[in-house]
Structure 1
Amino acid sequence: MPLPLRTRVFWGLYRTFDVAPAMQQPADKVRKAADRRAKSLALPGSRFIVGRTDPRVTVRDDTATLPDGTALPIRVYRPGAAPSGERLPVVLNFHGGGWVSGNMRQSEWWASSVAAEAGVVVVSVGYRLAPEHPYPSPPEDCYAATVWVAEHAADLGVDAERLAVMGDSAGGNLAAVVAMMARDRSGPAIALQVLLYPSVDFVGDYPSEDENAHAPVLAKKDLDNVPDLYFHGTDHERGEPYASPLRGTHENLPPALIQTAQYDPLRDHGLAYAAALREAGVAARHTNYVNAVHGYISLPGVVPAARQALGEAAAEIRSALGAG
């Protein structure tokens, strides 16, 4: 079955000017390429592709100051209909971009829509990026931000006892790792992990990586080059559980919703992670979206499955967190 027409048209146009994808660049050119991509998605009219902020939420920017003094930007989405003093469940969101690119803005439609549809506060985290801040900085930033949100629950108007983590692509990896860190480090308690087309293994090879080697948005060349940008230590880092969560132990992890896309090199990563969680006795729901491509939550205007995926995620979050 072919890609939807609007997806094909978008990709045909986009790749004519994105001639130097950030994840395929050498370390000294990554930031320039990533900044160029971010600017292209902020151009007038881009909202028809990437979506717009849900009008049912209020948005404010804040800063999470970590124990070592690092200041991470965060963006807080709160349903506008919720009473100002009410403590709502909270979802930490980690954006994608291969650990080397991306920003909170690319999750704007998804994060704001999840907040509105699920009746929760969503906190998007601007974690530090490789190659300037290689592994383990991104997962440590995301875990520290999660701890910070739990500790500042009263100021944020959230209920830290009803907390979930969520992320797409590299952000899905980070959400899975934060769930592991919270288990291993005695909190905070996480009720649900929402993993959207996650990367979970830097060691193994998967059929979908070759089947979709030239798919839109993410190609096998990206997957092959990212490890050299993300890891600046020895090769054994790639197999560590906080880098490749598939290689860790999965007992006592929170339930998971895992979404994947048909035309995505990472499709089989999500399938493998769902199987690993179930084998460890963890409830895991896996949905593979037909005709979808990698990055669909950032492209609701050109990937029809994005809105169906939103409905599923919001329903799972409402159920897990007891949200209204």
Structure 2
Amino acid sequence: MTPTTPPRPPYEPATALVLQRLEAAGGLPPLNSATLPARRLPVAQRRAAFLTAHPEVRLREETLTREDGTAMPLTVVLPPDDEVQPGAPLLLSIHGGGRVMGCRFDDLAAPANWARCFGGIVVAPEYRLAPEHPAPAAGEDCLAALTWAAAHAADYGADPERIVVVGPSGGGGLAACLALAARDRGGPRALGYLLDYPMLDDRTGLPGPDGTVQPPSARQFPDDGLWPAQWNDWAWEQILPGRRGGSEVSEYEAAGRAVDQLGALAGLPPVFLSVAGAETFRDEVVAFAAALWRDGGDCELHVWPGATHAMEYVSATWLRDGLEAARLSWLTRLLEPEDPRLNLSRVMGEGTFPTITVAAPGGGAGGELNDEQ
């Protein structure tokens, strides 16, 4: 942390201790052109690591042919017996890595666990990375993957109407771009989007009209935490070379741009958003949630105090447990919605609102429900 860092919310004690140990051990090297090759671990190595940690799953490899004739690998994660229940959901997993690193086997453990909970499958695309493939390459790959998933879900026993797009960090930002592109370009409509600490706005970390770096969270965390503003600046320069911060950047390349225009986030499926209170992305994620609500959207936002980016990898206690509980709660309500009449029955039985504990004219007895209620 530099001496010029402005006042900011502190890390909670467990997070602070882990970050201190990482810094002392040299475990957080800078992200730049020199260090990027070493950060890109071989796909085969990441695949083997995933299978070692999750030997119960079965993988199927598929290939999607892009419009230019090049191939994009996709991995399908299946239950151990390959049997998927009718109507099972499909989770489209978009890995993180700031859109400059990572592969389809990264960040796959959580969606694989969720798929097992709900009897579904996971599809993970190997989208193209910057700087070799700047925007809009990754966004186009994600839209192609969603289209493929909808077309082939039934081949694996899943329901194409029950696709949930999930992604952390850079993958969460791409998922937000995907939601907008699918809406505007006639792509498949997902049932919902689960976005953990997403990378949304290329303008985060750039000077505002007064010359001050915006937003405040980028000033507060310039060079510490698991995704400091310095790394974020470098990654966006690779994604949008020569265009970052310019007026020609679209919301399909940086979804945070949609915050500026009234109605730009209307008509999207339900969205889950998580972010740390002590990280660079805090303010852009909160602004995105506010804009979703402004435009009539269904959005659930969780801001975890004292946490850093990718909080569940730093805190093995209440932060990890709380985030996972929130995710599962949202997924359960999305995929297994409860009959609202059950809640009405409970409220009526508790007598909280006396005016609805008595049956309406022509209805059933108080506290009982029929199909008309």
TM range (shorter): 0.7 to 0.9
Q: Partners of 1:11 and 1:105 in 2: how far apart? A: 28
Tell me what 2:65 maps to: 65
Bigger strand share: 1
Tell me what 2:257 maps to: 247
* Deviation per residue, 1:114-167 (Å, 9 max, x gap): 222343322222211000111100111111111011111222322111112111
Tell me what 2:310 maps to: 295
Tell me what 1:219 maps to: 228
Q: CA RMSD in A?
A: 3.1
For the pair shown, which has the larger CA radius of gyration, 1 or 2? 2
Q: Which moved more, 1:302-311 or 1:109-118?
A: 302-311
Structure 1: 5+ residue stretches without partners: none
* Matched-pair identity in %: 30
Q: Which moved more, 1:11-20 or 1:124-133?
A: 11-20
- Aligned residue runs from structure 1 range 1-324, under 5 A: 2-5=11-14, 8-9=17-18, 12-13=21-22, 16-18=25-27, 20-21=29-30, 24-26=31-33, 29=34, 31-35=36-40, 53=53, 57-80=57-80, 83-84=83-84, 86-204=86-204, 205-235=214-244, 236=246, 239-248=249-258, 249-297=264-312, 299=313, 302=316, 304-322=318-336
Higher relative contact order (CA 8 A, sep 6+): 1
Instruction: Indicate how the Cα distance of structure 1 residues 304 and 4 shifts in structure 2: closer, same or farther if over 3 A, else same.
Output: farther
Instruction: Indicate how the Cα distance of structure 1 residues 12 and 116 shifts in structure 2: closer, same or farther if over 3 A, else same.
Output: same
Question: What amino acid is aligned across from residue 296 of structure 2 in structure 1?
Answer: G
Instruction: Indicate how the Cα distance of structure 1 residues 270 and 112 shifts in structure 2: closer, same or farther if over 3 A, else same.
Output: same
- CA drift at 1:33: 3.0
Instruction: Indicate how the Cα distance of structure 1 residues 322 and 296 shifts in structure 2: closer, same or farther if over 3 A, else same.
Output: same
TM-score (norm 2): 0.74
| 2:134 match: secondary structure | coil
Q: Partners of 1:122 and 1:7 in 2: how far apart? A: 34
- CA drift at 1:253: 1.1
Q: Partners of 1:192 and 1:280 in 2: how far apart? A: 16
| 2:107 match: secondary structure | helix
Instruction: Indicate how the Cα distance of structure 1 residues 107 and 237 shifts in structure 2: closer, same or farther if over 3 A, else same.
Output: farther
| 2:306 match: secondary structure | strand
Instruction: Indicate how the Cα distance of structure 1 residues 241 and 15 shifts in structure 2: closer, same or farther if over 3 A, else same.
Output: farther
Instruction: Indicate how the Cα distance of structure 1 residues 134 and 18 shifts in structure 2: closer, same or farther if over 3 A, else same.
Output: farther
Q: Which moved more, 1:1-10 or 1:287-296?
A: 1-10
Q: Partners of 1:60 and 1:310 in 2: how far apart? A: 27
Q: Partners of 1:300 and 1:115 in 2: how far apart? A: 24
| 1:182 match: secondary structure | helix
Q: Partners of 2:29 and 2:70 in 1: how far apart? A: 31
Contact kept? 2:84, 2:120, Cα under 8 Å: no
TM-score (norm 1): 0.84
Contact kept? 2:167, 2:194, Cα under 8 Å: yes
- Equivalent pairs counted in the alignment come to 312
